[in-house]
Amino acid sequence: MLYDVTELNRWRSGNHLGQHKSGEELSYQIEQRAPHNLSLLGRGYLVGILVTQKTLAGTILSKNASYELKEGAVYDKRINKAICYILD
């Protein structure tokens, strides 16, 4: 999942405790090394979900006709916004 954490105090400067820069892939660090867990990310704003082609074909597009594949992302046609991005 992709979170916008710019409003969280410990991320306002674009880095977290001088160890992590915003925009980095931090899943492993959060799940395995952080003194907190993923629930703290819920304080940020969820902006997207990264998925693989297999996940995309098997679940997202087949379950909702208002979604379409466009430019490496799944768009929700109702709001004309990308709701997830595709990893190859």
pLDDT in tens, 8-39: 777 777 777 777 777 777 777 777 767 676 66
Distances (CA, A) of 21 to 6, 12, 14, 25, 85: 11, 11, 6, 9, 21
Residues 54 and 35 grouped into a single domain: no
pLDDT at residue 37, rounded to an integer: 64
Provide the pLDDT confidence category of residue 61 given band limits of 50, 70 and 90.
confident
**By percentage, how much of the chain surpasses pLDDT 90?**
0
1, 38: one domain: yes
Q: Do 31 and 58 lie in a common domain? A: no
* 34 and 64 co-located in one domain: no
Q: Looking at this protein, which amino acid is placed at residue 17?
A: L
**Amino acid 83: pLDDT:** 80
Q: What is the mean pLDDT of residues 65-73?
A: 81
Number of domains observed in the structure of the chain? 2
- Same-domain pairing of 36 and 58: no
Q: Is residue 6 domain-shared with residue 28, that is, in the same domain? A: yes
| 8 Å CB contact between 33 and 41 | no
Domain containing 53: what range? 49-88
Residues 59 and 25 in one domain: no
What pLDDT score was predicted for residue 80? Answer: 87
